[in-house]
Amino acid sequence: MFKLSASFVALVALIPFAAGQAQEWGQCGGIGWTGPTTCVAGTTCQVQNAYFSNCFPGAPIPPVSTPAGGAPSPSATGLNALAQSKGKLYLGSATDNPELTDAAYVKILSDNTMFGQITPGNSMKWDATEPSRGQFTWTGADQIANLAQANGQLLRGHNCVWYSQLPSWVSSGNFDSATLTSIIQTHCSTLVGRYKGEVYSWDVVNEPFNDDGTWRSDVFYNTLGTDYVNITLQAARAADPAAKLYINDYNIEGPSAKTTSMMNLVKSLKAANVPLDGIGLQGHFIIGGVPQGIEDTLRAFTALGIEVAITELDIRMDVPATPAALAQQSQDYQTVISACQAVEGCVGVTIWDYTDKYSWVPQTFPGEGAACPWDQNFVKKAAFYGIVSGFNS
């Protein structure tokens, strides 16, 4: 075990005041840090991980964790390269078409040592790909599939069937069950078929459950009952037999009624020989709110004979961000990554875009934001180093 704790704190305490003193909660150390290394009176520089120490009120408390096998070298900061060196398949990011005109954004996104996988945040959804019946539009989706190919990155497809971003011709069409079945089959097999051989995994069904574990009431469930799930999975398998087929949802990362329902669904689909390869745990969290038992939950899903992935990780906070909140966020990213790292069947983690500049959070959760590991100006936040520490745990 690499020990940073007491000696590191003592060392930074000896460094003179040349760079000034960090304020309460402010950063005071870590690999690559060139700012102040001492704290104002009444606070103590506390090591959070190899890359991030900050000033806690009061006397020293024990460090929460230290990387195994020594601190990672500062140059080994490609998150995907690090994830792969630790046995994962990828560390990836969501992206979206409008931001692909931002050269600084694309440069970081396209570095496959940083991101080994991308997911289109919007452009493979039903409203984007079949806005009217039988009229398929591929411009946005193709752009992202082509980018993944050019960059040598895996592609996650997102998604075939979801209650949201669903055109009204589907949701309000009053179709009978045979017609809706055929509409789903046409949509999913055309979409999955277009990218046959290019997609590592597909979120075939997105968000089927309510938080209380009951089935979500939408046009698919209301017309076809639970059969819409197997109808869609079978259409996807037929269209691209090599793609891993996932069901994806949020609030299933720890023990809950919804998690139990998802596990029961996996069991029943497996028992009926319906094609299913993985469960995606979205991972849209609030700082301090990462569920207890995430590692156990990941493991319990894999015990059902499937793989898992964290598919949409972000950890939001009230804005403007405070140093304390950013430190908590770093801890939380580390917790999530180390849970995936600890479970062999957790194949990878996708961040729901890597920079606060293009996060979906501020529009969806007014008053909240700063959810990503890079800030608005593409500067790595403490959260980035939390991810590094998570893989090294």
Which of positions 357-386 make contact with ligand XIL (CB under 6 A)?
360
The site map against ligand XIL for 205-234 (x = CB under 6 A) is -x----------------------------
**For residue 323, what are its two tokens?**
């140093």
Measured from the CB of residue 215, what is the shortest distance to ligand XIL in angstroms? 17
| Residue number, 45 or 199, with CB nearest to ligand XIL | 199
Measured from the CB of residue 330, what is the shortest distance to ligand XIL in angstroms? 23
Measured from the CB of residue 4, what is the shortest distance to ligand XIL in angstroms? 36
Query: What are the Cα distances from residue 350, in Å, to 66, 121, 180, 192, 213?
Result: 24, 11, 32, 20, 25
Decide: is 93 part of the binding site for ligand XIL (CB under 6 A): no
| 3-state DSSP assignment of residue 158 | strand
The residue sitting closest to ligand XIL, measured at its beta carbon, is 360
User: Amino acid identity, residue 301?
Assistant: F
Q: How is residue 275 annotated by DSSP?
A: -
| Residue number, 8 or 246, with CB nearest to ligand XIL | 246
| Residue number, 77 or 123, with CB nearest to ligand XIL | 123
Among 122, 302, 330, 392, binds ligand XIL (CB under 6 A): 122
Number of residues that bind ligand XIL (CB under 6 A): 6
Which of 253, 312, 344, 368 is an active site residue? 312
Expressed in angstroms, the distance from the first to the final Cα of the chain is 10
Q: Which residues lie below 8 Å from residue 6, measured CB to CB, with a gap of 6+? A: 60
- Per the CB < 8 A criterion, the answer to whether 177 and 223 are in contact is yes
307 assigned to active site: no
The 3 state secondary structure assigned to 305-331 is CCEEEEEEEEEEEECCCCHHHHHHHHH
* Greatest Cα-to-Cα distance within the chain, rounded to the nearest angstrom: 76
Measured from the CB of residue 123, what is the shortest distance to ligand XIL in angstroms? 10
| Residue number, 126 or 333, with CB nearest to ligand XIL | 126
Cα–Cα dist 155/220, whole Å: 26
| Residue number, 99 or 296, with CB nearest to ligand XIL | 99
Cα–Cα dist 109/144, whole Å: 12
Cα–Cα dist 51/79, whole Å: 14
- Per the CB < 8 A criterion, the answer to whether 175 and 133 are in contact is no
Among 92, 120, 121, 278, binds ligand XIL (CB under 6 A): 121
Measured from the CB of residue 94, what is the shortest distance to ligand XIL in angstroms? 7
Cα–Cα dist 331/288, whole Å: 9
Cα–Cα dist 183/240, whole Å: 18
| Residue number, 72 or 121, with CB nearest to ligand XIL | 121
- Per the CB < 8 A criterion, the answer to whether 165 and 122 are in contact is yes
Which of positions 276-295 make contact with ligand XIL (CB under 6 A)?
282
Measured from the CB of residue 120, what is the shortest distance to ligand XIL in angstroms? 9
Among 312, 314, 332, 356, binds ligand XIL (CB under 6 A): 312
| Residue number, 246 or 360, with CB nearest to ligand XIL | 360
**Partners of 132 in the β-ladder:** 135
Query: Which parts of this chain interact with ligand XIL (CB under 6 A)?
Result: 121-122, 206, 282, 312, 360
The set of catalytic residues is 312
